[in-house]
Amino acid sequence: MWKDKWPYLLVVLLAIAFIFWFTACRGPASQISLNSPTVQTEQNAPTEQTEPEKTATQEKTPRQPEAIVVDVEGAVKHPGVYEMKQGDRVVDVVKKAGGLTKEADPAQINLAKKLTDEMQIYIPKEGESGRGMATTDIGGTAEGGKININTATVDELQTIPGIGPAKASAIIEYREKNGPFKKVEDLDNVSGIGEKTLEHIKDKITTD
C-alpha cells in the first residue's frame, strides 16, 4: 500500500521543503530592503533651505528731506512758526496753519512757490497791499523801495534796471536750487549777471 503512495508523499514533502526554503530566503531580503541605505538616505535627507526673504527693515531706508522752519503771519487761522520739509510749497504751510481766513486775499499769494528755510510768509487781507512788507512771500519790495531778490516774483525782478525776463528767471531758478541769497553780492553767481550789472543795481536790491 505505501509502495503505491510514496511518490505522492515525496511530492508533498518536496513542496513543504520548498515553501520553508522560500519563506526563509524572502524574510531577510525584505528586512534588508527596509533598512537599506537608500531608504535611510531618503528619510534622513536634509530639507532644502530657501534664502530668507528680506524684511522691510533690512531694505535701505530712503533719505528723509531736510527740515526747514517757516514763519506764517497775516490772514491765516493759526499764525506761527512751522517746521516743514525741503520741497514743500506755500500751499502746504498754509494748510498746516489752518488755512486762509475769510478776510484773506488769495490773489496776492503765490501758493505754488517752494519754501526756503527762515522764510516769512505774510498773507494779506482783502484791500491790504503786500507792497512795503519786508521778507514776505507775496512781494519783493522791501522797506525803502528796494527789491528783495529772495522773495520777488519774475515781474518784480524785471523792475530792476538791466534785469529782463531771462535774468529774472535765472535769479529765481538759482535761489530755488541753492537757497536764499545771503548777501546782494551773491547775485554775481547767477548766470548772465556780471560785476558791472551788480555794481549798477546793488543799491536797488536787498536780501532782507
Per-residue pLDDT of the chain (208 residues; tens, 9 = 90+): 555 666 667 777 777 777 777 777 665 444 444 444 444 444 555 555 555 555 544 555 556 668 888 889 889 999 989 999 988 999 999 999 999 999 998 887 888 888 888 788 888 888 775 433 334 444 454 445 788 898 888 888 888 888 888 898 899 889 888 888 889 899 989 988 888 888 888 888 988 7
So what's the pLDDT on residue 82? 93
Q: What percent of the chain has pLDDT over 90?
A: 13
So what's the pLDDT on residue 30? 46
Query: What's the CA gap between 135 and 148, in Å, rounded?
Result: 7
So what's the pLDDT on residue 51? 53
Please enumerate in sequence order all residues whose Cβ is within 8 A of that of 167, keeping only pairs 6 or more positions apart, or say none.
157, 190, 192, 193
So what's the pLDDT on residue 131? 39
CB 103 within 8 A of CB 125: yes
> Radius of gyration of the chain from Cα atoms?
46
What residue type is 155 in one-letter code? D
So what's the pLDDT on residue 26? 64
Q: How many Cβ atoms from other residues are within 10 Å of residue 173's Cβ?
A: 12
pLDDT tens, position by position, 185-207: 999 899 888 888 888 888 889 88
Q: What angle do CA 143, 144, 148 make, to 5 degrees?
A: 60
So what's the pLDDT on residue 74? 87
Query: What's the CA gap between 181 and 112, in Å, rounded?
Result: 20
How many CA atoms are closer than 13 Å to the CA of 54, on its beta-carbon side? 5
So what's the pLDDT on residue 99? 93
* Coil vs helix vs strand at 102: coil
Residues in the chain: 208
Check: pTM over 0.85? Answer yes or no. no
Query: What's the CA gap between 32 and 45, in Å, rounded?
Result: 19
CB 207 within 8 A of CB 183: yes
